[in-house]
Chains A and B, each alone.
Chain A
Amino acid sequence: MKCENQMTLEFPSKSVNEAFARSAVACFAAQLDPTLEELGDIKTAVSEAVTNCIVHGYPDSIGKITIRCRIMENQTLDIVIRDKGCGIADVAQARTPMFTTGGEERSGMGFTIMESFMHELKVTSQPGRGTTVHMKRRIMKRGGKA
């Protein structure tokens, strides 16, 4: 499938960057003319994935988070969020609703939200090597648009 546009973002795993990351992806996605609801879904899923990198990928240090965002030819936003942190030993368990190893401010619903709000979600991880979250969201074409 042909990529029509792309951007890459790299930033340190500081929680203050959560808002920056989701806003940057939303700004990039805006060229697909999404509805407010679609934009909200994308921002939410990105926020969850970036928060996972910060809380679980780099629990005791500041590391690098990379976001690659592509617009594919069929109105699909393809987002890859990657950290090189401690990784997840059991991805299936991590994706279970309400499962968390985080603090009291974590609900364990991050992956559930990502699954609900995006059309595809793939998580690959290697302990000690990091985690990659690959999400896709098709944006509905609206009337009158080319």
Chain B
Amino acid sequence: MQMTSFLQDKQLTIALSGEIDHHGARSVLRMIADKIDQYMPVLCILDFKGVTFMDSSGIAIVIHTYRRMCELQGTLRLKRVPPQPMKVLLAAGMDRIISIEGREPVHEM
């Protein structure tokens, strides 16, 4: 599991990549919390484009990030979520509390 982040105009984008499971969840959770505490963003975007697998450990990461952003009176958005992590997020009802955007459709030439 790898993570890169980018800050612009109080908007923090964190790009996640690799597999999200219990094995790496605690360190990802800490890294995201540290970035939020460091930059105090108004909007936090978790970019899932590079996530190749996610189980319910990813739900815990999203819930914790959502709670932290609520404490800051900010917003959390998930974007470019591939089908497998999307199915896990939807099964947990995450779309009822957080804006989730799927992967852009591929346009065939």
Binding site for B on A (CB under 8 A): 15-16, 18-19, 22, 36-37, 40-41, 43-44, 47-48, 51, 54-55, 97, 103-107, 109-110, 112-113, 116-117
Contacts and interface: CB of A to CB of B under 8 A. Distances in A.
Contact of A51 (B26, B54, B57, B88): B57
Given A55-B22, A117-B91, A107 B83 contact: no
Interface of B: 19, 21-23, 25-26, 29, 53-57, 59-61, 63-64, 83-84, 87-88, 91-92
Contacts of B29: 104-105
B60 A44 contact: no
Given A36-B83, A105-B60, A113-B88, 18 more contacts: A15-B22, A18-B22, A19-B23, A37-B87, A40-B84, A48-B56, A51-B22, A51-B55, A55-B22, A104-B60, A106-B22, A106-B57, A107-B57, A107-B59, A110-B56, A113-B55, A113-B92, A117-B87
